Structure 1
Amino acid sequence: MTMDNAYEQKVKDFTFDVPETYNFAKQVDQYAAAHPEQVAIHWENEAGDVQELSYGELKAASNRWANALSASGLTHGDRVIVLLPRSLEAYIVYLGLIKAGTVIMPGSEMLRPKDIEYRANHAEAKGVIAFGAITAEVDQVREQCPTLSTFIIVGSEQAGWTSYESLVAGQADEFEPVFTRSDEMAFLSYTSGTTGGPKGVIHTHSWLYAHQQIAATYWFDVKQGEMAWATAGPGWAKWIWSPFVSILGKGGTAFVYAGRFNPQAYLNLLAKHEISVLCATPTEYRLMAKVDGMDAYRPRALRSACSAGEPLNREVIDAFQKNFGITVRDGYGQTENSLLVGNLVGLDVRPGSMGRPSPGVNVAIIDEDGQVVPTGTVGDIAVAKDAPILFKGYLNDEVRTKRAFRGDWYVTGDQGRMDEEGYIWFEGRADDIIISAGYTIGPFEVEDALVQHPDVAECAAVASPDPDRGHIVKAFVVLKRPELASDEMVRDLQEHVKNLTAPYKYPRAIEFVESLPKTTSGKIRRVELRAAERENAR
């Protein structure tokens, strides 16, 4: 059987039956009961410090945390913002919250006060669980967030916060996960929009079940007992995808590296540890592929590698195949769904292609009327609205929820074409969203920060091609006093944005202009600016 025929058989044989009730943490507990000594999480930092947690220890620790939640005032259905770095505690906290039936609101450790305030008030969050380095950001806005009543700090002590360690001390090691329906909200993840504030993406408990059946099985591909390294950090939908659900849900061992990204360090870690599966961003792969003497590194156990976040270029795929005999398999999905399209296990990889639709997921290229376009025609990448991995709408936002659908289809906002063999090829964003090094950035958030600078009259942020990050944020800025344009002003504006919003959103390039292209009604035509950037990059 050829690889493509194997894919066809998987699609043909795929069945999906969501149970009426489901709790992911209970599933992990059942595995832990059968394999208590297996390492669930291996953590280490740049200094070489190591911490490990077995499945038995993970079960007991998350049970103590779930028992402690009632004492902290957080109960079934409450919405809780979680602001934790790569750590053992992130896994414990997430599992315990799921056991207790609370709704997890993942947040990056890079969020700023304004970001936290927006999320807390928009979702009417009741609690915040954070580590010491970000509690000051929360404290700046807690008086503006009337629904927040519970503040828990992990790893240290601070006035105005309850210590996580003190809460779990003395709690029982046993806890029966609460009864959660499959259609109950489990996660509320925020993603950038082209206008307005971030959108609250609703995922139910059934989404965790669906993700395991589809993405974790046919794309991520970790086997029971294997060590897998997915580089995404807590606070991002991709962390839920791979480091959390795909590894623990399949009985794997999660490798967690808490150090800063360095391509040589990453290659050394692959050579040092028995990491069988790697999932990293295209930017990380690109920089590893550029390391001089890459062929001298010898991954100890690597057998499978995948990538998501933005298109992966052929040179990277060729470098890993040549040096390690590993084909990096690209995948495509969003915060609103899971893996829609991928170069799945058992599928011939077409370098540069997203791959083919996931089993059980009806993906098509459609036109403005919601009709499927002919093969080879560029159109909107869309997924049938009954797909099991699709979100259940944007919280408190009927307008943007309705706008995301076209007839029987959810429209991703990306454009592509499908070839005669069913492979989908990415053509570009249909809107103004910027994807840089795997981060999804709304231009409005960047522009809103920039115009708060006293010297900025108006501005526009767009994606600008970049060889390492895929794209970077570039801002076109009109100054109130053009004579202030300088390298010093560029640095000042960049620091200004970093101080107002998450640092990854800051414009890495700034161009001062006299005016911005606009429509007759006065709307900025970002499309012209993007087109000029693409042309300049050629």
Structure 2
Amino acid sequence: MTAVPGAHDAATPGEAFRSARDFLLRHREDYDTARREFRWPAPERFNWALDWFDTIGERHDRTALWIVDEDGSEQRLSFRDLTRRSNQVANWLRELGVGRGDRMILMLGNQVELWETVLAAIKLGAVIIPATTLLGPIDLRDRVDRGRVRHVVTTAADAPKFDDVPGDYTRIAVGGPVPGWRHYADNAAAATDFSPDGPTRADEAMLLYFTSGTTAQPKLVEHTHASYPIGHLSTMYWIGLEPGDVHLNISSPGWAKHAWSNLFAPWNAEATVFIHNYTRFDAAALLEQVERCGVTSFCAPPTVWRMLIQADLSGLSRPPAKVVGAGEPLNPEIIEQVRRAWGVTIRDGFGQTETSVQVANTPGQPVQPGSMGRPLPGFDVVLLDPVTGEPADEGEICLSLEPRPVGLMTGYADDDERTAEVTRGGYYHTGDVGSRDAAGCLTYVGRTDDVFKASDYRISPFELESALLEHEAVAEAAVVPAPDAIRLAVPKAYVVLVAGYEPSRSTALSILRFAREHLAPYKRVRRLEFADLPKTISGKIRRVELRAREQEQGPHAAGFGGEFREEDFPELRS
């Protein structure tokens, strides 16, 4: 790839970053040029909060953060406001002993203090361990222990969760005073100017993420002052964010997607981060705020999209022009319903906690139904056959490490063996399987441990789930292999119904018949059960639990309460 003009000749790290950012903005809808000519900026020293964020407030007073609460109250802060407030927090934290390299658990909701503290920690060179407020004492003990935590910032309401979490760490509470905890509001007396203790190396650790653990104990993913702030230039490009956009991303603090689209991508673009806080998801209330506040860009996980399409999407007079989905692949039926209502196409993207967005449908490019798009600028994506390890049209999605993309983690903290395993052979191995068509578009097949064989055919759960979601009664579905004495395994669907449908024999018959009509014979769903789906606290379906449940039953099980089988329905026999 050729160099981005001026990117490495710039006088400061911030100017090099801006040059690369502006290149992507100029070629926002010119995928071929962006892919061919983009080059990651590679500063030796870089502190995103100081070298980039603070400079935005010096140029203009645009809104950086807009939070609307359920009761109608709202807060709007400019880049200049947040520069000043984060400086105060950084100075105060330094007085409390927070220093470069110190690890800090940050467990807050979508509140101003979250963004202030993130910016402050980056300025100090502290290492942030984001944590969802859904965590309990057992999870927190693991994070404090394995994360070697020295400081904790959380709400007064959540502070009691740490009563049984041993450790010599600074305790800071946001909200009312808590005995034994520092009061966050005391930072208001600190100076509004901040001077760092020295330059920040771009390769210093900045973030440590505990993964959501869909299949095993959470891993500790390490990102640097380059890999997420600079790496998420790819996320900015995928979404199509531009200066002045108002971007709403449905994601809970504590998870990587929150940093992707509620921090780095929009602020890389000088866009506004828009938040609508609620205690219980209400599609109509969310859409009302989208309309009232002029949201121009919207990102949500499939779970939210599935709830939204059950509401009246047609009520918006000016729907967002940029809509994307991430977290898990989007089913074609969802994409089509949104297109009919809003006249825009949801553009899927693929990435992980370990990376920024690697593959996506980008602005201005035709979206092929079912495809998650093409490799983004700065990423060389290769599909490797799981048996031979050679490039193939279908295989594990891998990233070439020659050159290493900036938007990739440094590795799993304190786990050299696992890091070596996922970076073997000159590639980063995602653990996900995809296929590539003649146009270079990639389609998601499934996790390497989710794809299974039935009658010697390879089955992608995602493909079957997408077909089931086209049935009017199906709100969510998860397909796993059920042991079978003849076929080794058969596809079984766990189904969550749309409100108003009963988990009855007639509903099961309707869904199974629909699957027979829309899937090849070897793919058809042969068993069905109505049940809630086990999920991680980040909302991803834990198919591993469903597979384990089926394995416990064994190939000769006669079925159990709530399960329907093809052979139970004479109407299905042909």
Structure 2 counterpart of 1:241, from 247, 260, 281: 260
Q: Residue 157 of structure 1: CA displacement?
A: 1.2
Pair 1:322-2:347 in alignment: no
Whole-angstrom CA distance in 2 between matches of 1:138 and 1:343? 43
What residue is the counterpart of 1:172 in the other structure?
A: 191
Q: Residue 97 of structure 1: CA displacement?
A: 0.6
Structure 2 counterpart of 1:33, from 45, 58, 70: 58
Residues 334-353 of structure 1: pairs in structure 2 closer than 5 A: 334-353=352-371
What residue is the counterpart of 2:318 in the other structure?
A: 299
**Aligned residues of 1:4 and 1:347 also touching (Cα < 8 A):** no
Structure 1 counterpart of 2:276, from 248, 257, 262: 257
What residue is the counterpart of 1:457 in the other structure?
A: none
333 and 513 in structure 1: CA distance in 2 versus 1, 3 angstrom threshold: closer
Q: Residue 195 of structure 1: CA displacement?
A: 6.2
**Aligned residues of 2:478 and 2:541 also touching (Cα < 8 A):** no
Amino acid corresponding to residue 184 of structure 2 in structure 1 = Y
SS at match of 1:183: coil
What do residues 131-166 of structure 1 show as CA deviations (whole Å, max 9, x unaligned)?
12321112221x2xx3x4200011221112111001
What residue is the counterpart of 2:223 in the other structure?
A: 203
What do residues 305-332 of structure 1 show as CA deviations (whole Å, max 9, x unaligned)?
1110111111221122222111111000
Q: Residue 78 of structure 1: CA displacement?
A: 0.2
SS at match of 2:440: coil
330 and 297 in structure 1: CA distance in 2 versus 1, 3 angstrom threshold: same
Aligned residue pair count: 461
Identity in percent: 33
Structure 1 counterpart of 2:119, from 95, 101, 120: 95
SS at match of 2:364: coil
Higher mean alpha-carbon deviation, 409-418 vs 176-185, is at 176-185
Amino acid corresponding to residue 300 of structure 2 in structure 1 = A
What residue is the counterpart of 2:350 in the other structure?
A: 332
**Aligned residues of 2:359 and 2:376 also touching (Cα < 8 A):** yes
**Aligned residues of 1:83 and 1:129 also touching (Cα < 8 A):** yes
**Aligned residues of 1:370 and 1:409 also touching (Cα < 8 A):** no
Higher mean alpha-carbon deviation, 509-518 vs 58-67, is at 509-518
23 and 514 in structure 1: CA distance in 2 versus 1, 3 angstrom threshold: closer
What residue is the counterpart of 2:180 in the other structure?
A: 160
What residue is the counterpart of 1:406 in the other structure?
A: 424
Residues 110-121 of structure 1: pairs in structure 2 closer than 5 A: 110-121=134-145
SS at match of 2:203: coil
What do residues 174-232 of structure 1 show as CA deviations (whole Å, max 9, x unaligned)?
1134521110001000114466531110101111343243221x212221122111111
Amino acid corresponding to residue 415 of structure 1 in structure 2 = V
What residue is the counterpart of 1:373 in the other structure?
A: 391
Unaligned ranges ≥5, structure 1: 434-464, 477-493, 520-531
Pair 1:311-2:291 in alignment: no
Whole-angstrom CA distance in 1 between matches of 2:364 and 2:538? 39
Amino acid corresponding to residue 516 of structure 1 in structure 2 = E
Whole-angstrom CA distance in 2 between matches of 1:374 and 1:172? 58
SS at match of 1:268: helix
Q: Residue 510 of structure 1: CA displacement?
A: 8.3
Structure 2 counterpart of 1:396, from 405, 414, 425: 414
* Larger RCO, structure (CA 8 Å, separation 6 or more): 1
What residue is the counterpart of 1:61 in the other structure?
A: 85
Whole-angstrom CA distance in 1 between matches of 2:322 and 2:436? 26
Whole-angstrom CA distance in 1 between matches of 2:478 and 2:158? 28
**Aligned residues of 1:128 and 1:151 also touching (Cα < 8 A):** yes
What residue is the counterpart of 2:211 in the other structure?
A: 191
What residue is the counterpart of 1:271 in the other structure?
A: 291
Amino acid corresponding to residue 318 of structure 2 in structure 1 = P
Q: Residue 371 of structure 1: CA displacement?
A: 3.6
**Aligned residues of 2:276 and 2:289 also touching (Cα < 8 A):** no
What residue is the counterpart of 1:231 in the other structure?
A: 250
**Aligned residues of 1:364 and 1:372 also touching (Cα < 8 A):** no
**Aligned residues of 1:211 and 1:241 also touching (Cα < 8 A):** no
Q: Residue 39 of structure 1: CA displacement?
A: 1.5
Pair 1:516-2:516 in alignment: no
Amino acid corresponding to residue 24 of structure 1 in structure 2 = W
215 and 182 in structure 1: CA distance in 2 versus 1, 3 angstrom threshold: same
Whole-angstrom CA distance in 2 between matches of 1:533 and 1:365? 37
28 and 379 in structure 1: CA distance in 2 versus 1, 3 angstrom threshold: same
Whole-angstrom CA distance in 1 between matches of 2:44 and 2:552? 53
Whole-angstrom CA distance in 2 between matches of 1:251 and 1:32? 10
SS at match of 1:339: coil
Pair 1:13-2:33 in alignment: no
Amino acid corresponding to residue 252 of structure 2 in structure 1 = G
SS at match of 1:133: coil
Amino acid corresponding to residue 354 of structure 2 in structure 1 = E
Unaligned ranges ≥5, structure 2: 1-26, 452-467, 484-531, 556-562
Whole-angstrom CA distance in 2 between matches of 1:20 and 1:136? 41
What residue is the counterpart of 2:382 in the other structure?
A: 364
Whole-angstrom CA distance in 2 between matches of 1:236 and 1:9? 32
Amino acid corresponding to residue 215 of structure 1 in structure 2 = T
Whole-angstrom CA distance in 2 between matches of 1:505 and 1:188? 20
Residues 114-129 of structure 1: pairs in structure 2 closer than 5 A: 114-129=138-153
534 and 196 in structure 1: CA distance in 2 versus 1, 3 angstrom threshold: farther
Pair 1:426-2:444 in alignment: yes
323 and 196 in structure 1: CA distance in 2 versus 1, 3 angstrom threshold: closer
Whole-angstrom CA distance in 2 between matches of 1:187 and 1:406? 23
Whole-angstrom CA distance in 2 between matches of 1:310 and 1:431? 15
What residue is the counterpart of 2:67 in the other structure?
A: 43
4 and 225 in structure 1: CA distance in 2 versus 1, 3 angstrom threshold: closer
Give the superposed CA RMSD. Answer: 3.3
374 and 394 in structure 1: CA distance in 2 versus 1, 3 angstrom threshold: closer
Whole-angstrom CA distance in 1 between matches of 2:550 and 2:400? 45
In the superposition, the TM-score normalised over structure 2's length comes to: 0.74
Q: Residue 518 of structure 1: CA displacement?
A: 8.1
Q: Residue 503 of structure 1: CA displacement?
A: 9.2
